[in-house]
Structure 1
C-alpha cells in the first residue's frame, strides 16, 4: 500500500477519534483536555502509520494463506503483534511525557501489562494487508487473463495468416485438382481435411487451453494435408505416452511449431522429410518434443517470430515455470524440447478443437 494512502488513512482515523472523544465528553458534561486529546490521537495515528508498512511486510514474509507454513507464520504473527504493540506503547508514553500531557496513571508497568489491549490493532492491519494482497492478486489475474486472451487471438491470426496465404490455398487446391484426375477419393479427403482444419482454427477463438489430444488432432489434420500433397516426401511418427493426452497446454501451441518445421526445415530439402512428435510425463512435468531431419542451423540462439511469440505466451501463462530448449546443427535438423507443468483435464467432445 502506498505511503501517502497509509498516512491519509491514519490521519482521517485520528480526526475521527478526536471528534468521538469530544462528543463523548460533551454528552457526559465533562471538559475536553484538548492538548492530551489532539496530541494523543494524532500521535496514535502517526505511530501506527509508521508501523503499518512493517505489518504489511510481515504479512508477505509470513503468509498465513500458505497451508504448509500456516502454524509457524501464525506463531510469528502472535509474537510480532505483542512486540510491535509494546514498542508502540513505549514510544507513545515517551513522547507524551516529553509533551507533558501524560496521564497521571501512566507508568512503565502499566504500559507493559496493558499492551495486549492494543494487540487487536495489529490483527486488524494484518487482515487489511491480506485484503490488499488478495485484491492485487485478483487484479494481476485479470491482467494475465487479458494478456493470454490477446496472445491467443494473435496466435490464431498468425495461424490463419500462415494457412490462408495464397501459396497454401493455391498449392492445396492445385493438389486437389491434380488428384481429381487420378484419385477422386484422395481429392475429396484432402478437401475435407482442409475445411475441417480451417473450421477448427476459427471455432477455437474462445479457448485458452486445450488438451494435448485436441492439439494433436489439429496438428494431424495439417500434416495429413501435407502428406496428401507430398505422399512420398513426408513421414510422421507419433510417440505419445499413455496418460498424457489429457494434459493441458495453451491452445495453438504445438501446431505452429510443427508447421514451421515442415515449411522451413523439411520442404526446402530433397529427399524424404522425417518428423517425430513425442510427449511424456516426467514427475509433475509434461515433456513435448518436436524433431525433424531438415536443414538445421548453426546457431541455437536464433529465434524467429513464431518461436518468440511462443516463448511470450509461455511466459505469460507459466511465468518462470517452463523451459524451452532448441538443438540444431547444419544438415541435422531441429529438435525443440518443451517442459510444462503437468495439469490434466477431463476429455470432452464439447471443445472446438475436438474432432
Structure 2
C-alpha cells in the first residue's frame, strides 16, 4: 500500500490514518475516563459501562470531526499562505462556532437516538472538554504544518544550492575564453561595410547579449532595467528576422526599473511567445511585456496574440516555461500561471518578491509609465 498517495486537499493516506488514529485513541480514553468517574454509583462493571458508552462517545467525536474538517480546510488549504499569527488569531472566531455547532448537532442526534448526554449544568463540562480538545488538536495540526513547511524549505534550499552549483559549472564551461568571443564579435563587426550599419548593430546586440548572460550567471539578482535591456536586444534580433510580422510592446513604469529580479527570467518566456505563438502564424502578432508593482511584489505578465496553447490552459509548453516555473518555485515558492489571452494567444504571469537593488533609490514621484513600441 502506498501510504504517501494523495487523497484530497493534499492529504496523504498516511496523514488520514494518523488523524483517524488520534480521534480513536482520544474517544477511547475519554470513554474510559467517564467510566472510571462513574464507579461510585454505577451498578455495572467497568467493562459493561465502557461498551455501553461507545455509541455515545463515537457519535460525540464523529460530530467533532465533522466540524473540524471545514475549519482545517479554511486554515490549512485556503489560507495556507497567510502568516501563522493571523491564522492562529482566526481561532477566536472559529472556536465558538465549532462549540455551538457541535453541541446543536450532537445533542439533537443523541436525543433522537436516546443515547443519553449531559444536561443542565453538566453541559459546562461538555463545553470545557470540547474546547480543550479543539485547542489540542489544532495545536498539533499547526505544529505539524510548521514542521512540514520547515522540511520543504530545507529541501528547497538544498535543491537551490545544487542548482547554483550546476549553474556555476555550466557558466564555467561557457566561459572558456569570453574575451576571445568578444574580440571575435568586434572583429566581425569591424569587417562589415559601412553601408551595412544595421548588420553591425545586430552584431553589437548579439555581443551585448552574450556579455549579459555571462554576467548574469554570477549573480542572483539584477535591476529590472538591465533585464529589460537584455530582452529588448533579443527582440531587436528577432524583429530583424520576422520583420513586420513581430510587433512588440513593453509596458513598464519607471518606478519599477530599480527593483530587483532574478536574471534571465523574462527572456525565456518572451522567446517561448515568439517561437510557439508568433512564428506559426503567417500574419504574425504582438508580444506584450508588462511589469507593475503591487503591495509587496512585482507582477510580471507576458502576453502574445499568437497561435495560443496547443495543450490545456495552464499546462505550459516549451523548455523556457518549464525552467522558469522551476526557478520560481525553488527560489521563493512562486507560481507560474499560464492562461489563454483574449482575443487569442497566451498569457503568462508570475510574481517576484519586492526588492530594491543595493544602493538604489527608487523613484516615487509618480512618473508616467515607459512605453516602447517596436514596428508599430
Q: Please state which band the TM-score falls in when normalised by the shorter chain.
A: 0.5 to 0.7
Q: Shift of residue 51 of structure 1?
A: 3.1
SS in 2 for 1:347: coil
Report the aligned-residue RMSD: 6.1
Determine if contact 1:86/1:115 at 8 Å carries over to the other structure: no
Distance 1:33 1:250, change over 3 A: farther
**Which stretches in structure 2 are left out of the alignment for 5+ residues?**
1-17, 76-85, 195-200, 312-316, 361-376
Rounded to whole Å, the distance in 1 between the matches of 2:240 and 2:327 is 35
Name the structure 2 match of 1:57: 66
Q: Following superposition of structure 1 onto structure 2, how do residues 176-187 of structure 1 map, counting pairs within 5 Å?
A: 176-179=186-189
More displaced, 229-238 or 239-248? 229-238
- Higher CA-based Rg: 1
Q: Following superposition of structure 1 onto structure 2, how do residues 29-48 of structure 1 map, counting pairs within 5 Å?
A: 35-40=44-49, 47-48=56-57
Determine if contact 2:167/2:217 at 8 Å carries over to the other structure: no
Indicate whether 1:338 and 2:348 are aligned: yes
Indicate whether 1:128 and 2:136 are aligned: yes
Determine if contact 1:275/1:290 at 8 Å carries over to the other structure: yes
Indicate whether 1:288 and 2:297 are aligned: no
Rounded to whole Å, the distance in 2 between the matches of 1:88 and 1:197 is 69
More displaced, 66-75 or 127-136? 66-75
Name the structure 1 match of 2:374: none
Name the structure 2 match of 1:239: 251
Rounded to whole Å, the distance in 1 between the matches of 2:94 and 2:342 is 45
Indicate whether 1:80 and 2:101 are aligned: yes
Q: Shift of residue 310 of structure 1?
A: 4.7
1:305 to 307, 316, 319: 319
Rounded to whole Å, the distance in 2 between the matches of 1:114 and 1:131 is 26
Determine if contact 2:223/2:260 at 8 Å carries over to the other structure: no
Q: TM-score, normalised by structure 2?
A: 0.53
Rounded to whole Å, the distance in 1 between the matches of 2:254 and 2:126 is 60
Q: Shift of residue 190 of structure 1?
A: 7.3
Determine if contact 2:56/2:110 at 8 Å carries over to the other structure: no
Name the structure 2 match of 1:218: 227
Name the structure 2 match of 1:4: 21
SS in 1 for 2:301: strand
Determine if contact 2:168/2:218 at 8 Å carries over to the other structure: no
Deviation sequence 1:153-196 (CA, Å, 0-9, x none):
77996999799789xx898774244246679xx99997676355
SS in 2 for 1:324: strand
Rounded to whole Å, the distance in 2 between the matches of 1:133 and 1:80 is 21
Determine if contact 1:246/1:344 at 8 Å carries over to the other structure: no
Q: TM-score, normalised by structure 1?
A: 0.55
Q: Shift of residue 145 of structure 1?
A: 4.5
Deviation sequence 1:2-37 (CA, Å, 0-9, x none):
32332234435656x499869xx9xxxxx8979443
Rounded to whole Å, the distance in 2 between the matches of 1:174 and 1:268 is 33
